[in-house]
DNA sequence: GTTATTTTTTAGTCTTGGCTAAAAATAAAA
DNA sequence: TTTTATTTTTAGCCAAGACTAAAAAATAAC
């Protein structure tokens, strides 16, 4: 296909998605990311991943050694962070301005994150009041690609009788988010751990006036800041 | 490339751009659109156009007879109109909400028009107050792809001593729009034709308190409604 | 320290959407 | 009505980015 956009730095949709996936994987495990891990996270085949990381290596966007996995260069990291910045800013737009619900915005942001225009993002950011977090509590990288990480814990990591305020979700699938809605949990909600079962990690928690049971699966996907 | 979006009706970026180009060409000349005309309007080669219109014909989006040109089917027309609807709604967003100038929005809208989400456009339209026209005075098709055409004339067509209000531009290149800015002409501006030269079609017009000369090239790219 | 399993890479194909060069059809001139 | 010019199509090629199947390397098990 013909290159429709004429910008200085231009990466294809595929390239951007690979860099983004590697970025996320680097931050949730070792910094050498395996071919298989990338393939799984992108729902594609390892052979396709090998192809692409070799191309990205040519362009100095990742460092790659055969059989050793990939790792973003500074340049690659910046590009990835910028795509994530765009994704999260658009999510804020969709929720704050268009009144989408937080479980509906991800797919649309997956598309919007590839729109190429510095100026657009500068203005969108200002329009939104330069938000620091997206609707799922994820931090928005600044224009230099710097992502400040806050000290947050998984709900599953906090102890009995401790209190926390929900600051984000690890998973943001519609199913999970809708579960949280049902339980009246959203960003900013105060949660108290009333009981914790060692065997399966399940908990009894208090949210507002309600007390109820949650599984470990839930607790390990909710970020809180302890109070 | 892999199909990232999973919608019912999905057309590629290239397909959408071809349908849009054919739509525009149908409305500015005969309804059989020539291969060369499409090629020129898309800055591509006639052989590429032939390829694509054959594919579009397979999918019943255009009717095509060898050496006879292409013509959108009802389905193709609807799809094209919807892309144009999206383009123009996004242009309104960029100008009204992000304070872009009217000469800066076209390229960005060329990208945004391909974002796939019915719901997004429904909400964007509502957010913008369901505008009828884009920043260049072009009508925005409704959600059924119906485009109501207003009775507007080119400034070049109106007579000496007639008055008109500017309702749109035919060209919307940055150069032309910046010329209009310099002359303080925008949508809604009242223009009086004080003189008209038959030889070259140039005019003397009045805009506010200023009187000045404009060439035929300018006059045939400005739409007005006579008062 | 071999053997077996898993992971990763290579080789070869496919589709989309471009391109050029040549052939065929149509339109214009003579 | 021929000849010439223009338009359109076909044929063949290329790059991106996917895939499958097979080979090679790295790990894990024995
Ligand atoms: Mn998201
Ligand atoms: Mn998010
Ligand atoms: Mn436009
Ligand atoms: Mn416009």
Q: Which domain holds residue A198?
A: 152-226
Q: What is the CATH number of the domain that holds B19?
A: 1.10.10.10
Question: Is residue A219 scored above 90 in pLDDT?
Answer: yes
Ligand 2 centroid, distance to A102 Cα (angstroms): 8
Burial class (CB in 10 A: 0-12, 13-18, 19+), A148: exposed
A85 inside domain: no
Q: B111: nearest CA in chain A?
A: A115
Residue B55 with chain A: CB contacts under 8 Å: none
A16 is near strand D: CB distance < 7 Å: no
User: Of B72, B103, B119, which residue is a domain's last?
Assistant: B72
Please give the Cα distance from A188 to B52 (Å, whole number). Answer: 52
Residue A97 with chain B: CB contacts under 8 Å: 97, 127
What average pLDDT does this structure show over B156-180?
Answer: 92
Looking at residue B2, its pLDDT comes to 40
Six-digit token string for A85: 């910045």
pTM, full prediction = 0.91
User: Of A72, A94, A123, which residue is a domain's last?
Assistant: A72
**Spacing of A22 CA from C6 C1' in Å:** 22
Work out the pLDDT band at A138, boundaries 50, 70, 90: very high
Work out the pLDDT band at B149, boundaries 50, 70, 90: confident
Exposure string for B154-170, b = 16+ CB within 10 A, e = fewer: ebbebeeebebebbbbb
Looking at residue B1, its pLDDT comes to 40
Ligand 3 centroid, distance to B41 Cα (angstroms): 14
What average pLDDT does this structure show over A86-114?
Answer: 97
B173 inside domain: yes
Question: Is residue B4 scored above 90 in pLDDT?
Answer: no
Smallest CA–CA separation between A77 and chain B, in Å? Answer: 23
Q: Best of A38, A108, A120, A124 to disrupt the B interface by mutation (most B CBs within 10 Å)?
A: A120
Q: Is A108 on the interface with B (CB under 8 A)?
A: yes
A138 inside domain: no
**Spacing of A81 CA from C7 C1' in Å:** 29
B137 inside domain: no
Looking at residue B9, its pLDDT comes to 61
A5 inside domain: no
Q: Is A8 on the interface with B (CB under 8 A)?
A: no
Q: How many domains does chain B have?
A: 2
Q: What is the CATH number of the domain that holds B160?
A: 2.30.30.90
User: Of A72, A100, A119, which residue is a domain's last?
Assistant: A72
B117 inside domain: no
A212 inside domain: yes
Please give the Cα distance from A203 to A215 (Å, whole number). Answer: 6
Instruction: Using DSSP, state whether A191 is helix, strand or coil.
Output: strand
- Tokens 């998984």 found at: A154
Q: What percent of chain A has pLDDT over 70?
A: 96
What average pLDDT does this structure show over A21-27?
Answer: 96
pLDDT tens per residue, range B82-114: 999 999 999 999 999 999 999 999 999 999 999
Task: Give Cα separations from A154 to A109, A219, B146 (angstroms).
Answer: 25, 7, 51
B45 inside domain: yes
> DSSP for A66-117?
TTTEEEE-HHHHHHHHHHHHHHHHHHHIIIIIT---TTSSHHHHHHHTT---
pLDDT tens per residue, range A31-84: 799 999 999 999 999 999 999 999 999 999 999 999 999 999 999 999 999 999
């Amino acid at each position: 296909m013909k290159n429709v956009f004429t910008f200085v730095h231009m990466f294809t949709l595929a390239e951007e998605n690979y860099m983004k996936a590697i970025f996320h994987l680097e931050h949730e495990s070792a910094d050498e990311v395996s071919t298989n891990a990338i393939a799984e996270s992108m729902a594609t085949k390892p052979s396709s991943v090998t192809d692409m990381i070799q191309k990205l290596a040519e362009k100095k966007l990742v460092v790659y050694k055969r059989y050793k996995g990939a790792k973003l260069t500074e340049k690659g990291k910046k590009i990835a962070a910028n795509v994530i910045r765009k994704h999260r800013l658009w999510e804020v737009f969709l929720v704050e301005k268009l009144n989408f619900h937080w479980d509906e915005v991800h797919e649309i942001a997956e598309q919007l994150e590839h729109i190429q225009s510095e100026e657009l993002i500068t203005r969108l950011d200002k329009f939104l009041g330069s938000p620091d977090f997206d609707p799922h509590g994820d931090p928005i990288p600044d224009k230099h690609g710097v992502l400040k990480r806050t000290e947050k814990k998984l709900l599953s990591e906090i102890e009995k009788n401790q209190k926390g305020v929900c600051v984000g979700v690890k998973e943001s699938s519609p199913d999970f988010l809708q579960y949280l809605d049902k339980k009246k949990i959203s960003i900013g909600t105060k949660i108290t751990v009333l009981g914790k079962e060692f065997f399966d990690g399940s908990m009894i928690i208090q949210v507002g006036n309600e007390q109820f049971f949650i599984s470990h699966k839930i607790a390990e996907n909710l970020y809180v800041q302890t109070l």
